[in-house]
Amino acid sequence: MDPQHYSLKRSDQWKWEGRYTAEEVVSRITEDQLGDDWLVAPFASEEPPVDARKFATDPSIFVARRQRRQQIEDRHAEISANVPTPFLLTWGKRGLGLFFAFLLIGRVTVSLFFPHLRGSGMPPAAWFLLIPAWTVGGASLIATAIGLLQKKSRVSKAIADSCRP
């Protein structure tokens, strides 16, 4: 997708000016003889600017950059999908699911079968159930965090290995 509008600025200025089409930018560069100290960037974009002369010779430079970036992102996503999921990440997610299911089942059980206990605090027997549940939840959270770090490390290594000649 080609950017619709562009902004211009001198390299020593901080403020971008205008909202020009590609044709207007090229005509300003050629007619006004804007020097090498002028920069062009897509309007309201984070895209890094290019030299005005470079833009005048190739107005589709931002489209080419975006396509190149998209190809790299697609390749990285493909590599990421092919990296095996770490053991800790798999079991951490399962443990978190079990933890939340246990809390939900406990809440429903107390609400249905022991309505007289609602709002009166927790009986000692509930602590015997909650302590293991919170332990499973905490251990699962730690395992998931370590698994995510392992996955990120493996993906980064696989991407780096794919970039080597």
Q: Tell me the per-residue pLDDT of 21-65, one tens digit each, with 9 for 90 and over.
A: 888 888 887 877 677 788 888 887 778 888 888 888 888 888 888
Confidence category of residue 20, pLDDT binned at 50, 70, 90: confident
Average pLDDT over residues 85-92: 94
Between the alpha carbon of residue 109 and those of residues 4, 124, 139, the distances in Å are: 59, 16, 24
Q: What is the pLDDT of residue 157?
A: 93
Q: What is the pLDDT of residue 2?
A: 60
Average pLDDT over residues 98-116: 81
Query: What are the residues facing 85 on neighbouring strands?
Result: none
Average pLDDT over residues 108-122: 72
d(CA 36, CA 38): 5
Which range among 45-49, 141-145, 149-153 shows the weakest confidence by mean pLDDT? Answer: 45-49
10 Å Cβ neighbour count for 58? 11
Is residue 114 predicted with pLDDT exceeding 80?
A: no
pTM of the model: 0.63
Q: What is the pLDDT of residue 58?
A: 84
Proportion of the chain in helix, strand, coil states, percent, rounded to 5? 65, 10, 25
- 116 burial class (0-12, 13-18, 19+ CB within 10 angstroms)? exposed
> Could you tell me the two tokens for 17?
């000016």
Sign of CA pseudo-dihedral 67, 71, 74, 80: negative
